[in-house]
A and B are shown apart, each in its own frame.
Chain A
Amino acid sequence: MTVNPIPCRPAKPILAIVLVLVLVGCGASAGSLGASTGAPATPSGSSSVGPAASDEPVASVAPSTMPTVEPSASPAAEASRAQPPRASIAVDGGDPVEGQLGSYSWFGQGSDAPWLDGRPIHIGAGERLTLTLADPVAVVNWTASRVQPGNRDGFGAVGMGQGSGSPVAFDAPPPGSWSVGVTVWFGGNRGSAAYYWLVEVR
């Protein structure tokens, strides 16, 4: 077992500042390596109890609503509540191809599906693929990976890219035929969606 190595009394102010900078650096790495440090990026909610307010947690009387940023109430936004936005991928200068929608969760509803082979797109080796959403929805996380066509579990998928925010872009897989899946998590707790393409790489 270890204990927090942060000293109680930094010897000098400069040491405290250096410590903070070091922690930022370490944290940037830890975020993608070690045990989770995290929580979803939800704004503050109220704690149901204060410190040592009672012997056990107290249940709220009424259901609470998280103070998250709600999507726009514009007619266009309302119309898009039925399903996640369509997504297309394209290489630089190429025609976009819309992906096949698999699992998704979206505005309080959702559907769970297997890995799909996806819609065909033909590209050259070494090209870079960029995903575009049909609606202006913020992306908070994304992952891209590939399997052999016909794989329904995604078991053994090879990662092609992963990131936070836009752009969603990744390099083409090696020459051959691949089923490429891109899962996107949307901002404002709207949900997530998986899209698939059958990528033929020359």
Chain B
Amino acid sequence: MKAWTRLAASILAAVTGLLVTLGGAAAHGPDPLVGSGRWTQDQVLTFKWRSGSVPTSAIQTAIKGAAAAATATRGSQAASYVYDAAGQNLIGYGTGATCGVNGLGCFTRTPPSSFTMWLREQGHVYDWGTLKWCQAYASPPSGCYDAENIALDEFGHIEILDHHVNWSDESDYEDAVVQTLSRTYPYAGWNRHAFGPCDVATLQMEYEVRTWAAKYSTCLALVTTLGLTLGASHSATGGTVTMTATLKVADVSSYVRLALNPLPGRIVTLQRRDRGTLPWTTVGTMSAGATAGTYARSVVVNGSTNFRAVFDTPTDEGLRGVISRIVTIVVD
């Protein structure tokens, strides 16, 4: 590679990393972080009811539902939550809540050892009004809060998530559950019971994806790299050459744990053109290679040929498409 090419590549990588960071900082990126400590990957956090502050049956059901939702939708190796009568962490409900004076619910987190959560009691009177939990009614009244949604927000904080930074028009509100403002019935998002893509994005970066083939949150737009190597650079006419492509997440520091992850299970296509001509034609999809994130395809060559591998930007996950460098097989 010529010096200027290497320089340009270095600048491009630096700029890409900068854009990634700026994109997250401006608005609508992965949730920010609250605190600097993480739980162990896949740590099971058991909880029980705080003595003397046991939630009502309906609120217990809501909190257990939120714990299950947090566990099921974390999309990463973040901590999971399980109710256990002998649990290590306390969740309370009622007048003993240590929340801020205007708080509906609150949390403390001290990873990797413990957390607490509180929800205020139904009917609590604030300066701003009276608390109504939707679970306390057969039919939710206007202005009630869904306890499961609020508890899921608190579980998100406990993981490591801070409030999402929304667009100024809040059009992306439902991309995250961990919000500065939780909505009341009947406004959109009032009863969301799953982490949103921007919650999951941060959990993936901080705790890693569950498998290499798992989908990356659509709140991300991770730069990828695609290498292409030849089994042989020369061939006789009619010879068969095997191409191997390697697809990875780029080495960008702000990707935290996701940097350099191999990307198996994606669609990588091989393209060719006669050496020195312009149009590329698709040879076909490359098969899974010997190791995670590699793809292989054998081709017959009858003349000197250029090849490249292509990974198109997927619509269902947060990866950017990429084209490999061009490699050439010379037919002797």
Report which A residues bind B (CB closer than 8 A): 1-4, 6, 8-10, 13, 16-17, 19-20, 23-24, 27-28, 30-32, 35-52, 54-57, 59-60, 62-66, 68, 70, 83, 100-117, 140-141, 143, 145, 152-155, 157, 159, 161-162, 164, 183, 185, 189-192, 194
Whether A3 and B5, one on each chain, are in contact in the complex, defined by CB atoms closer than 8 angstroms, is: no
Whether A152 and B143, one on each chain, are in contact in the complex, defined by CB atoms closer than 8 angstroms, is: yes
CB distance from B241 to the nearest CB of A (A): 19
Inside 8 A of A30's CB, which chain B residues have their CB?
A: 19, 23
CB pairs A–B below 8 angstroms (28 shown): A6-B323, A16-B7, A36-B23, A36-B201, A38-B23, A39-B202, A40-B29, A40-B32, A40-B202, A44-B254, A51-B248, A52-B246, A52-B292, A56-B292, A57-B212, A57-B261, A60-B40, A66-B256, A108-B110, A112-B103, A112-B153, A113-B102, A113-B104, A161-B168, A185-B165, A191-B34, A191-B162, A192-B32
A24–B153 alpha-carbon span in the complex (Å): 35
Q: Is the interface of B mostly helix, strand, loop or mixed?
A: loop
Inside 8 A of A44's CB, which chain B residues have their CB?
A: 253-254, 256, 259
Inside 8 A of B181's CB, which chain A residues have their CB?
A: 102-103, 114-115, 153-154, 194
Whether B38 and A162, one on each chain, are in contact in the complex, defined by CB atoms closer than 8 angstroms, is: no
Report which B residues bind A (CB closer than 8 A): 4-5, 7-8, 11-12, 15-16, 18-43, 77, 99-100, 102-112, 127-129, 143, 150, 153-154, 157, 162-163, 165-166, 168-170, 180-184, 187, 198, 201-202, 205-206, 208-212, 218-221, 246, 248, 253-262, 291-294, 308, 310-315, 318, 320-326
Inside 8 A of B18's CB, which chain A residues have their CB?
A: 24, 27
CB distance from B215 to the nearest CB of A (A): 14
* CB closest residue in chain B, given A13: B4
CB within 8 Å for A109 and B254 given contacts A10-B8, A52-B293, A185-B162:
no
CB within 8 Å for A63 and B33 given contacts A27-B23, A36-B220, A108-B108:
no
Q: Is the interface of A mostly helix, strand, loop or mixed?
A: loop
CB within 8 Å for A65 and B30 given contacts A4-B320, A111-B99, A183-B163:
no
Whether B19 and A31, one on each chain, are in contact in the complex, defined by CB atoms closer than 8 angstroms, is: yes
Inside 8 A of A50's CB, which chain B residues have their CB?
A: 260
Inside 8 A of B150's CB, which chain A residues have their CB?
A: 112
* CB closest residue in chain B, given A21: B15
Inside 8 A of A48's CB, which chain B residues have their CB?
A: 41, 208, 257
Inside 8 A of A63's CB, which chain B residues have their CB?
A: 37-40, 43, 111-112
Inside 8 A of A108's CB, which chain B residues have their CB?
A: 34-35, 37, 108-110
Q: Given known contacts A8-B323, A38-B23, A155-B187, what 8 new A-B pairs fall within 8 Å (CB)?
A: A4-B321, A23-B19, A38-B254, A46-B257, A68-B36, A101-B100, A103-B103, A189-B34
CB distance from B321 to the nearest CB of A (A): 5
Q: Which of A20, A55, A64 contacts B11 (CB 8 A)?
A: A20
A194–B165 alpha-carbon span in the complex (Å): 12
Inside 8 A of A101's CB, which chain B residues have their CB?
A: 100, 102
A5–B130 alpha-carbon span in the complex (Å): 56
A161–B30 alpha-carbon span in the complex (Å): 20
Inside 8 A of A59's CB, which chain B residues have their CB?
A: 40-42, 77, 208
Q: Which of A38, A55, A114, A191 contacts B104 (CB 8 A)?
A: A114
Q: Which of A46, A83, A189 contacts B35 (CB 8 A)?
A: A189
CB distance from B15 to the nearest CB of A (A): 6
CB distance from A54 to the nearest CB of B (A): 7
Whether A41 and B15, one on each chain, are in contact in the complex, defined by CB atoms closer than 8 angstroms, is: no
Inside 8 A of B262's CB, which chain A residues have their CB?
A: 51-52
CB distance from B97 to the nearest CB of A (A): 9
Q: Which of B21, B294, B321 contacts A38 (CB 8 A)?
A: B21
Q: Which of A20, A27, A66 contacts B22 (CB 8 A)?
A: A27
Whether B211 and A57, one on each chain, are in contact in the complex, defined by CB atoms closer than 8 angstroms, is: yes
Whether A112 and B323, one on each chain, are in contact in the complex, defined by CB atoms closer than 8 angstroms, is: no
Whether A23 and B15, one on each chain, are in contact in the complex, defined by CB atoms closer than 8 angstroms, is: yes
CB within 8 Å for A38 and B29 given contacts A52-B293, A111-B105, A114-B128:
yes
Whether A112 and B154, one on each chain, are in contact in the complex, defined by CB atoms closer than 8 angstroms, is: yes
Inside 8 A of B154's CB, which chain A residues have their CB?
A: 112
* CB closest residue in chain A, given B105: A112
